[in-house]
Amino acid sequence: MTDLTTLTLSVTLQKLRDREISSVELTRACLERIQQVDPLIRAFLIVTEDLALQQAEAADKARAAGEDRPLLGLPLAIKDVFSTKGIETTCGSKILRGYVPVFDATVVQRLYDAGMVMLGKLNMDEFAMGSSTENSAFQITRNPWCLERVPGGSSGGSAAAISAGMALGTLGTDTGGSIRQPGALCGIAALKPSYGRCSRYGLVAFGSSLDCPGPLAHTVEDVARILQVMAGHDPLDATSMPVDVPDYVARLTGDVKGLRIGLPKEFFIDGMQPEVEQAVRAAVATLEQMGAEVIEISLPHTDYSLPVYYLIAPAEASANLARYDGVRYGQRIEKGEMWPTYKATRGQFGPEVKRRIMLGTYALSAGYYDAYYGKAQAVRTLIKRDYNEAFKQVDVIATPTAPTTAFKIGQNTDDPLQMYLADVFTLPASLAGICGLNVPCGFDKQGLPIGLQLLGAAFKEDVVLRAGHAYEQATDWHTRRPVLNDEV
C-alpha cells in the first residue's frame, strides 16, 4: 500500500474525492508519522490528535453526504503565530505560554471552512524573529535533510513538517523571508503572497507593514490550492486589499512561452555559495529553453535592503511588543512591586527579541527618528520604485532564495549579522510588498536543497505560480524526499 504521507496535497485530494482513501486513514497516517519522526525533527509544539480525528471523521461523513470543499479532509498544520480558538498560541515565547485564544485568525477560519483537518501548532523563532528556528523558547527544530542543520526560519517548523512528511500543507508567515528561506533550506514550495492579499487578523504582529501569511507544501499546485482558500479581502483587517482573487490552479498551464524573466545583477554577489549560483542560473536556463525570455535587469537600491529592514522591522516590533507587560498581555511574573514585576515579565523575552526591541526603540527615540526610521522609510520607497520600474520590463524576477544552503545549528548564533545575511535575497521583496515563491532547483555536494526565488508584481501571484509550476513540470527536484534515520 502507498505511504499516504509521501503524496502531494493535490494527489491526495483526488484520492479522497475518488473514495480510494478516507480522511481518517490519511489523518492517522500523518499522526503516526509525527509520532515516528517528530522526536528527531521537533517541528510541532502541540499535536491536536483528538481534534484532528474528530474533524477527519466529520469530513468523511460530509463527503459521503455529497459535500465537496477545496480542502475537505486534508491534514494541515499551523505556525504558532496564528490565533487558534481553544488551542494554545505561544509564538515560540515564554511570555505567551498558557495563552489560549477565544477566536481563530481569519486565514485559519478560512482553512477550517474549506475542510482542513488540524494536526497542530508548529515551532518558530520567538515572535517570528529569526532565520533558523533556533530562537524558539521551547525547542530547536532540525532540518530533515540533515539533522545537524537548521530548517531556516522563522517558519522552520512549517517547512520541516512538510519536508519530513508530517503534514500535507502548512501555514507560515513571511516578514523578511520567513516562508521563502525555510522553503529553500528544506526543499519545498513556499509562497509569500503580496502584502494585503491575505488577512493579518489574528496573526500576532511582528512588523505590521511587512507581515504576510502564506502557504508551504510539496508542490506549487499544492501551494496554489491553499492560497485560493486563504486569499481575499477581510473587513476585520484594514490592510487587507479588496482586489479580485483569480483561480490560481486554473492558471497553472505548464507553459512559460513569452514570459519575460528578469535576472538582476545585484543578486549574484561575492560570498554566496557557488553551487547556489550555478543551480539558480541553470534553472533560469531551463525556463529559457521552455520559451521564456530572459532579460538582464538592475535593482540599484538592493544593497540598502538589509539596513533598511533592520531599522523598520525592529521599530515596528518595539511598538507591537510594548503591550506584553503582564498587565493586559503576556504571562505575568509577580514580584510584589510594579517595577520588579514589569522587569521580570519582560525578562521572559529571549535574547533576539530583546535585541530587536532595543534596536527599534532606539530608532524611534527622540532625536534619532528622522535620522534612522524616517530615512529608512524614504529608502524603502526607492526600493519599491526599483521593482515597479523592473516590472514594466519583465513579468517575473528570478533570484536565489538564500545565499547558502542550510547552515549548522549553532553556527551563526553568536554572530547576529551573519544570521541576518541569511535573508539578504528575500528582504527586498518584503520591503516592496510584492509576492515571492520558492521552488526547489537543485542540491549541493552535501545533498542539501537549493531554492529558486521567483518574484512577481503586487497581486500577481498567479504569474509566479505559473512560472514555478512550469519549472516543476520540467524538473524532478520537488519529488525528492529526505531519508530520516535515528542519528542526531
Catalytic residue from among 10, 131, 132, 154: 154
Per-residue pLDDT tens over the stretch 181-193: 999 999 999 999 9
Residue pair 444/404 in contact (Cβ under 8 Å)? The answer is no
Q: Is residue 377 part of a domain?
A: no
Give the chain's domain count. 1
Average pLDDT over residues 191-212: 97
Phi, psi values for residue 295, rounded to 5°: -125, 125
In contact, 345 and 326? CB cutoff 8 Å: yes
CATH number, domain at 262? Answer: 3.90.1300.10
Would you say the C-alpha torsion 5, 57, 74, 51 has a positive or negative sign? negative
Q: Is 366 a domain residue?
A: no
pLDDT band with cut points at 50, 70 and 90 for residue 417: confident
Q: Is the pLDDT of residue 377 over 80?
A: yes
Q: Is the dihedral angle over the CA atoms 253, 255, 258, 264 positive or is it negative?
A: positive
Confidence (pLDDT) at 414: 86
Residues with Cβ within 8 Å of 346's Cβ and at least 6 positions away in sequence, in order, are 95, 324, 325, 326
- Out of 10, 23, 79, 192, pick the active-site residue: 79
For residues 9 and 25, give the distance between their C-alpha atoms in angstroms, rounded to a whole number: 15
Task: Examine the residue annotation and report whether 192 is marked as an active-site residue of this protein.
Answer: no
User: What pLDDT, in 10s, does the model give residues 245-283?
Assistant: 999 999 999 999 999 999 999 999 888 999 999 999 999
Q: 416 exposed, middle or buried (CB, 10 Å; 0-12, 13-18, 19+)?
A: middle
For residues 403 and 272, the answer to whether their CB atoms sit within 8 Å is: yes
pLDDT tens for residues 277-316? Answer: 999 999 999 999 999 999 999 999 999 999 999 999 999 9
- Which pLDDT value is given to residue 358? 95
**What whole-number percentage of the chain has pLDDT above 90?**
91
Q: Mean of the pLDDT values across residues 39-45?
A: 98
Q: Is residue 348 part of a domain?
A: no
Q: Which residue has the cell 509577580?
A: 334
Q: Are 261 and 394 in contact (CB under 8 A)?
A: yes
State pLDDT tens for residues 434-471.
999 999 999 999 999 999 999 999 999 999 999 999 99
- Catalytic annotation, pick one of 178, 305, 318, 430: 178
486 has pLDDT over 60: no
Q: Per the domain annotation, does 152 fall within a domain?
A: yes
Q: Is 257 a catalytic residue?
A: no
Calpha distance 464→477 (Å, rounded): 18
Identify whether 208 is a catalytic site residue. no
Quote the domain boundaries for residue 23: 4-266+277-298+386-479
In a domain, 356, yes or no: no
Query: Taking a C-beta distance cutoff of 8 angstroms, is the pair 307, 376 a contact?
Result: yes
CB atoms within 10 A of CB 332: 16
The band of 487, judged by pLDDT with boundaries at 50, 70 and 90, is very low
396-400 β-sheet, strand order: 44-47, 117-122, 75-79, 169-174, 212-217, 189-192, 435-443, 449-456, 396-400, 260-264, 293-297
pLDDT for residue 485: 64
Alpha helices in 231-374 (DSSP H): 274-289, 305-321, 338-346, 351-364
Q: Is residue 351 part of a domain?
A: no
Neighbours of 417 (CB within 10 A): 9
Say if 164 falls within a structural domain. Answer: yes
CA distance 282 to 265: 16
| Any domain includes 67 | yes
Query: In whole numbers, what is the pLDDT of the chain averaged over residues?
Result: 96
Contacts 24+ apart (CB under 8 A), 49-54: 51/87, 51/118, 52/27, 52/117, 52/118, 52/119, 52/120, 53/24, 53/27, 53/28
> Is the pTM value of this prediction over 0.75?
yes
Residue 1: pLDDT over 70 = no
Helix, strand, coil: what percent of the chain each, to 5?
40, 15, 45
pLDDT band at 165 (very low <50, low <70, confident <90, very high): very high
